[in-house]
A and B are shown apart, each in its own frame.
Chain A
Amino acid sequence: MTLIDFLNRLLGREKPSGTLARERLQLVLAHDRSDLNPELLEQMRREILEVVQRYVEIDIEACDVSLETEDRVTALLANLPIRRARPVPLPRAETESESPPEDTTPPEDLTASEEMAEPVAPPQAADPAAVAEVGGGES
């Protein structure tokens, strides 16, 4: 450790590399183990939000769906802040021909939520192996 590194650490400007290694590994292991590629994960995320939105109005901006792993068990964690419940559930949007249910604005909201997915599943990463590198560049 050089003096500059030490000072940066002391001033809280920089995390020790061991901590970074752990954080990056936890993310990449969750993806490796789930065997879901980022595209599928994104599709699942979108569908989950769609279903939840039929019953409650959620804060799309603050939604977070991600994979986490502990003790070799991978869990899908969704944090979906609810604005308010809908007194009557919206009809199911089964086919694409069906018009989107009124009173919600799913198209715009969903595109906005795609950006949200960045840290978990960068769309440009085609296979899980690529996630490591993308994740690495993040911090």
Chain B
Amino acid sequence: MTSATARTILICSGKGGVGKTTLTANLGIALARLGHPVAVLDADFGLRNLDLLLGLENRIVYTAQEVLSESCRLEQALVRHKQEPNLSLLPAGNPRMLEWLTPEDMQKIVAQLAERFDYVLIDAPAGVEQGFRNAAAAAREAIVVTNPEVSAVRDADRVIGLLHSMEISPVQLVLNRVRPQMMANQEMLSVDEITEMLALPLLGLVLEDQQVIVSTNRGEPLTLGDVASPAAKGYRNIARRLDGENVPLLDPSKERRGLRARLLNKLRQTTGLF
């Protein structure tokens, strides 16, 4: 595939801790499982974590830094995922890179990746400062991740304003850590309220799910296995929609769990059997 058709997608949020890196890892694996060569680029040079979530932290030899200084070839720095060989990680370099890295440097790296992959997912750092701008300069489209919380939505709004001014398009929304029961009780911003305020098309919802923590502990993204966890389902659907498939959006009001479903879920989580 040529660079003209590769999709370079920024994954950003403004606020930290809303699930950018987890989404990048899971989406990367899910897209790779759909048969696409995928590169995930850790653009959070200050606080890199994508390697850890993918379980690749012990296999890093070179990073984006060596690629830029031309002390290694891109292929040498890319870390291929053993269980999902369609996915490769380009690790973030030393935090000191932030001092000299320019938007042009990021564009150079991403252009190289775009020659070899169908999808290039760029995991942006939190904030709206230079690190974010560097990462954004290299992307054609963006996914904004947010949680149904006031601070996360406000920060997302700031980021969306910047993305629009940088003429990145399309910009789509992923709503992470949704708790259907709280939404039903009106103790949480609803999906409609958030999409209306941010005025973005909704790419998908991810339900709050303890399995996410378990999977990060293991360094195995949920989408890697065939677990029927609610979050994994959300991530897989996002990947399919991004890939052009028409998958209906989940309706949180239908996800309110009755006692029986909750017991079954508990059983599933404790036994890990089904």
- A residues lining the B interface (CB < 8 Å): 1, 16-19, 21-22, 24-26, 28-29, 32-33, 69, 71-72, 132
Contacts and interface: CB of A to CB of B under 8 A. Distances in A.
A74 B193 CA distance: 17
Contacts of A1: 185, 187
Interface stretch (B29-37, B117-125, B153-161): B153-161
B183 interface: yes
A72 B187 CA distance: 25
A35 B196 CA distance: 20
A32 B185 contact: no
B189 interface: yes
Give the bracket for the number of chain B residues in contact with chain A.
Answer: 20 to 34
Contacts of A69: 197
Contacts, number: 50
B101 interface: no
B150 interface: yes
A95 B198 CA distance: 43
Contacts of A33: 157, 161
B232 to A, nearest CB: 27
A103 to B, nearest CB: 45
Nearest to A19: B186
A29 B185 contact: no
B199 interface: yes
Contacts of B102: none
A29 B154 contact: yes
Nearest to B199: A72
B168 interface: no
B188 A18 contact: yes
A131 B142 CA distance: 29
B158 A32 contact: yes
